Structure 1
Amino acid sequence: MLTVLSARAQTGVAEPALAPCDAVVQAFLQRWDISGASVAISKDGRLVYERGFGYANLARTEPMQPAHLLRVASISKPVTALAVMKLAEDGLLTLNHRVFGPEGYLRGSYYNEVIQDQRIYDITVRQLLEHTGGWNRNAGVDDLSSSDPIDFPLYVAKAMQASNPVADSVLVRFVLSRGLNFTPGSRFAYSNMGYLILGKVIEQVTGQSYARWVQQHIFAPAGVREAHLGRNLLADKQEREAEYFSKTTRESCYGTGQQVPMPYGAWNLEAMHAHGGWLFSARDLVRLVLAVDGSATRPDLLTAATIDTMTTSDEPNRRYAKGWLVNKDRSTWWHTGSLDGTASCVVRTAAGYTWAILLNGRALPNRFWHDLEELGWDCLRAADGRWPAYDLFAPEQNAVRLLAKPLGPTTARLSWHNGNGTGRLLVLQEKAPLTALPTDGTNYVADASFGRGATLGTGAVVTAGPDSAVTVRDLEPGRTYYARVVEYRQSAGTGEHPVYALDGNPVLEFRTPALPPVLARRSKAVRPAANASRRKRPGKATIQASRPAPAPARDAAAPASPTPMASPSSAPAPSYLARLLAAGREWLR
């Protein structure tokens, strides 16, 4: 039964030659009882595989899509490392500079006043990047089995006399007050707190919040839009964010005393920003790595020298460089991430392959992590080089400046400035913003008469193509409408598959004018007939095939039939407004 359900839930652009790759992922999910996965693979800078598997929500009713966002946990560390390396390249910090003390980047009293262990003043940026700063999360503190405060946020809040949920800055003060487990630089010990402190360094030297600087200076230049910091609670999740499966509960980090699921309120994700707080789609995580991979397929954000430094490991650990695990010859870089309800893996290879695998569940045995790290390699072996020539990356630039100008009670003119796709959908919905979004590989038939085009939830597609404006007809007077422009790319370069950019789309709310009072009263009598007429319209057309259907061939032996003249009965029916005005004039007589 699981096999049937999972197979039905596969989404994204299907490529028959890559069915063996699909089967490998399906087998992994079934073996480890994982509800959903998003997998993206690039070859030589082209996104050649983007697939969703299983389910994105706890009710198991929503299929996982390639555009879903998932928590990536510790894959946030490479993001922070990229930001630090970019700042170093731009001369805003140096890797060997001290972090704390009078000469450090974090020289203020807020952090330094709690320091008792003088060795803390010797910690450098480089040591934090390489996990040699002096903290060992397995050593324990204050009679607790762990010394990593992400494991006991309620205790930290009480010890530091802070409110719940505890802020990340309070976590930093806590670890500083408890001292180090070893001399900085003398050994390796994986440290979440080291990267949380790096986030504070980024804020100090840039004068911006960590998230804002990363979005502006790392993600935006790389064309990455599908990346956000996560929130603690299910009610606060991002648009298109998947939901996370876990059977474990713990006391809420909000201090309510309530037992809650680990992914939703037990972990204080909002205090993990720089070491474990990011959400990504698999495809945009691949896009980010391609922007720093050192290959010539796409422009890099960092110079070759900076990339070399970032991926060079030093003693005392030769496997972990600066934000990346690396193999002996540095031909492969990777990182994994893990939290209750989340497991992730991203890999870059010298052979031109990059992939990201994001799950909304996890297992704990070491064999699970071995299988997850091997899953991408298993996909490559299953594909056996049969990669398509297309590139499924969605447009990097959305349309902007969406405007609406009502032309009357039932008509409005909408316009916008195009992004860098080949086309865009304008979707219109009454009463509430659009929540159902287009899916890659699906074409949608548009109609400027509202309600006649393809439907997305309760919204309707009113235009699809290269235009930058549309006049929408058959709206209801005095009603509120919500518009959203979705940029897409569909060309020979995408194999004629439409691929949609779903993050940061321009949205707009507008209201049609009400009818004059006399016509409004009269409209109550004619509206039932108008609604009945609308119900008789053709069904909403959604074409599932990505490639356009070929035009039917005309029989060369048969002459073309002359176009008949339109009879009076075939004249277009008067519009709703025209019928309403005519009825009003008749009533006034």
Structure 2
Amino acid sequence: MLKLTGTAGAAVAAAGTLGTARASAAERTWRVTGEDVAPLAHFDDVMKDYMQARGITAGSLAVARNGKLSLARGYTWGDESVATTGETDVFRIASLSKPVAATAAMRLAQEGELDLDAPLADLIDLSPLPGGTADPRLGEVTVRRALQHLGGWDRDLSGDPLWSTIAISREMGVDLPLGEEEVVSYVSGAALDHAPGTTYAYSNYGYLLVSRAIAAVTGTSFEDYVVSDILGAVDIARMRAGRSLARDQAGEVRYNSRYTSTSAVDMSGAQVPYPYGGFNLEIQLGNGGWVASAADIARFCTVYDTPEAAGVLTPASVDTVFAAPEAGGGATHYGLGWSVRPTADGENTWHTGSMPGTYTFLARSNGHTVVALFNQRKEGDDLNWGEIDPRLWGAVNEVGTWPTEDLTPIYF
């Protein structure tokens, strides 16, 4: 069993530029789409400053208050060769997918169809490859522990299998692209890095297993269940499972990265742009594979902002999602798919996401929800990409009188 490489250790080569995205600043112009909302005009300044400093060509922003959509904007910073970003264009949302998976699991638990404390091994096949031996502690990995990153897998110690499919395929002697079953049987033959329930260690793989458990108990695919019972319940129709290759990405923004990688979706051995075949997005739906607009994510958050109206989770279930875990808890902790921090006004809950060509941010606090999506992530620069958080909340606090119009009917 080899030690897997994570995202940072993947074999990539510098491509030198971001193609047409690297037009000089002098050639670029701003294009902004979406309804102008005068009291919130300063949000445009935040997004433009942030994107321009980093050379980001496409961004999407949504701001909601008490479940009502107040602002939905698309931003383009590029020359004429860069397509204009519509306010409903979809982006890969990366790990903003985790609150979606957790919501689906909590919904099933609420309906009595899934026990959050059931061992995953009782719900799905975790048999190792022939001749392999499973860690006996694997039976202690519950749905709840996987959602709270307490399953025992630690990518800093043994790597992230979802980002190491080329290496796994070589050791298994099977062709790319790998399917979920092959990844699971491979990892099931490896020792856990920690005893389940004892150590917080962020694990994309745990979310893959939860998505498979959801499929098992519902008798349908994970994607179909989320679309019908979570997204459909709040009228989200654009959000869908992402795909690795550009030919399968209608209505999606173009992703920028300076790196290339060996193809992870076929056996060609070709060097491809890292966001386009350098990793297998199809097996990452549970942890990071959805595509959506910022407005879609803000709409999804009505499940938590106005639970009675949304009708997906009860207030008691929402409390369970944000509750402290058995380990790695404290005032600030990771619940079921959300980071949670107490504030003077209640709770601040958030998540970020990052993969080649994508950086995403989602946060909720005191009735306000802000979502920002970008078609590029930090790569070799010394800028603080996390500053989008305080800058957007600064913009929230600058609003004098919030608009009363709800833009939801325009987009949903």
Aligned to 1:385: 400
Match of 1:67 in 2: 88
Deviates more, 1:313-322 or 1:66-75: 313-322
Preserved CA contact (<8 Å) 1:40 1:50? yes
List per-residue Cα deviations over 1:247-299 (Å, max 9, x = no partner). 10110012211111110000111111101100011101100111233566x33
- Residue 336 of structure 2 aligns with an amino acid whose one-letter code is K
Following superposition, which runs of at least 4 residues in structure 1 exceed 6 angstroms of deviation? 110-113
| Distance apart, 1:121 and its partner CA | 1.3
Relative to structure 1, is the Cα distance of residues 2 and 43 closer, same or farther in structure 2, using a 3 angstrom cutoff?
farther
Cα distance, 1:162 vs. partner? Answer: 2.5
For 1:159 and 1:368, how far apart are their aligned partners in 2? 38
Matched, 1:121 2:135: no
Is contact 1:347-1:354 (8 Å) kept? yes
- CA–CA distance in structure 2, aligned partners of residues 195 and 236 of structure 1: 24
Note the 1:116-265 alignment, pairs <5 A: 116-140=134-158, 147-237=159-249, 239-253=250-264, 254-265=266-277
The CA distance in 1 between the partners of 2:382 and 2:147, in whole Å, is 25
Aligned residue in 2 for 1:375: 391
Give the Cα separation in 2 of the matches to 1:200 and 1:114.
21
| 1:546-571 Cα deviation digits (max 9, x unpaired) | xxxxxxxxxxxxxxxxxxxxxxxxxx
The question of whether the paired residues in 2 share the 8 Å contact of 1:336 and 1:344 is answered with yes
- 8 A contact 2:67–2:306 mirrored in 1: no
Separation in 1 of the partners of 2:38 and 2:28? 19
- Structure 1 partner of 2:370: 355
Q: CA deviation at 1:28?
A: 0.7
Cα deviation for residue 366 of structure 1 reads 7.9
User: Which residue of structure 2 aligns with residue 48 of structure 1?
Assistant: 70
**Structure 1 residues 195, 55: closer, same or farther in 2, change over 3 A?**
same
Whether contact under 8 Å (2:90, 2:293) holds in the other structure is yes
Shift of 1:18: 2.6
Q: Secondary structure at the match of 2:39?
A: helix
1:291 matched to 2:315? The reply is no
Map 1:468-507 → 2, pairs under 5 A = 499=410
Any idea what the Cα deviations from partners look like across 1:390-434, whole Å, max 9, x if unmatched? 11114xxxxxxxxxxxxxxxxxxxxxxxxxxxxxxxxxxxxxxxx
Q: What are the Cα deviations for residues 94-127 of structure 1, in whole angstroms up to 9, with x where unaligned?
A: 1111111xxx112575789854211111111111
In 2, Cα distance between equivalents of 1:386 and 1:178: 56
Indicate yes or no: 2:351 matched with 1:339.
Answer: no
TM-score by length of 1: 0.62
Residues 246 and 300 from structure 1, CA distance in 2 versus in 1: closer, same or farther, beyond 3 angstroms? same
Q: Does 1:320 align with 2:334?
A: yes
Match of 1:306 among 317, 320, 330: 317
Deviation at 1:313?
A: 1.6
Amino acid in the other structure paired with 2:342 = K
Alignment of structure 1 residues 434-453 onto 2, 5 Å? none
Partner AA of 1:354 in structure 2: T
Partners of 2:90 and 2:45 in 1: CA distance: 23
Give yes or no for contact 2:59–2:372 (8 Å, CA) kept in 1: yes
Number of the residue aligned with 2:291: 279
Q: Is the 8 A contact 1:32 1:368 kept in 2?
A: no
- Residues 369/348 of structure 1: CA separation in 2 closer, same or farther (3 Å cut): same
Unaligned residue ranges in structure 2 (runs of 5+): 1-23
Q: Retained in 2: the 8 A contact 1:38–1:282?
A: yes
Which amino acid is the alignment partner of residue 326 of structure 2?
A: E
CA shift for structure 1 position 149: 1.4
Do 2:241 and 2:289's aligned partners in 1 also have CA atoms closer than 8 Å? yes
| 2:101 corresponding residue in structure 1 | 80
1:342 Cα deviation from its structure 2 partner? 0.2
Given that residues 28 and 77 in structure 2 are in contact (C-alpha distance below 8 angstroms), is that contact kept between their aligned partners in structure 1? no
Give the match for residue 15 of structure 1: 37
Work out the CA distance in 1 between the residues paired with 2:367 and 2:67.
7
Match of 2:47 in 1: 25
Is residue 2:110 matched to residue 1:89?
A: yes
> What secondary structure, in the 3-state scheme, does the structure 2 residue paired with 1:10 have?
strand
Inter-CA distance 118–214: structure 2 relative to 1 (3 Å threshold): same
1:387 shift after superposition: 2.7
The 5 A counterparts of 1:385-424 are 385-394=400-409
Instruction: Kindly state the Cα deviation for residue 215 of structure 1 after the two structures are TM-superposed.
Output: 0.5
Question: Aligned with 2:155: secondary structure?
Answer: coil
Deviation at 1:163, TM superposition (A): 2.1
Give the RMSD, CA atoms, in angstroms: 2.2
- Structure with more helix by fraction: 2
Q: Could you tell me how far 1:370 is from its partner in structure 2?
A: 2.1
By how many angstroms is 1:170 displaced? Answer: 1.4
Give, as a single letter, the amino acid of the residue that structure 2 aligns with 1:231: R
Alignment partners' CA distance in 1, 2:129 and 2:391: 42
Indicate if the aligned counterparts of 2:307 and 2:315 stay in contact, CA closer than 8 A: no
Q: Counterparts of 1:505-524 in structure 2 under 5 Å?
A: none
Match of 2:56 in 1: 34
SS of the residue corresponding to residue 328 of structure 1 reads strand
TM-score (norm 2): 0.87
Tell me: higher relative CO, structure 1 or 2? Use CA pairs within 8 A at least 6 residues apart.
2
SS in 1 for 2:310: coil
**1:48 aligns to what SS in structure 2?**
strand
Tell me, yes or no, if the aligned pair for 2:307 and 2:314 is still in contact at 8 Å.
no
Mark the CA change 1:270 to 1:299 in structure 2 (over 3 Å): closer, same or farther: closer
Whether contact under 8 Å (1:335, 1:345) holds in the other structure is yes
Q: Which has the larger radius of gyration?
A: 1
Residue 153 of structure 1 aligns with an amino acid whose one-letter code is T
1:55 Cα deviation after fit: 5.4
CA distance in 2, matches of 1:78, 1:115: 32
SS in 2 for 1:331: strand
What is the deviation of 1:367? 5.1
1:536-551 alignment runs, 5 A limit:
none
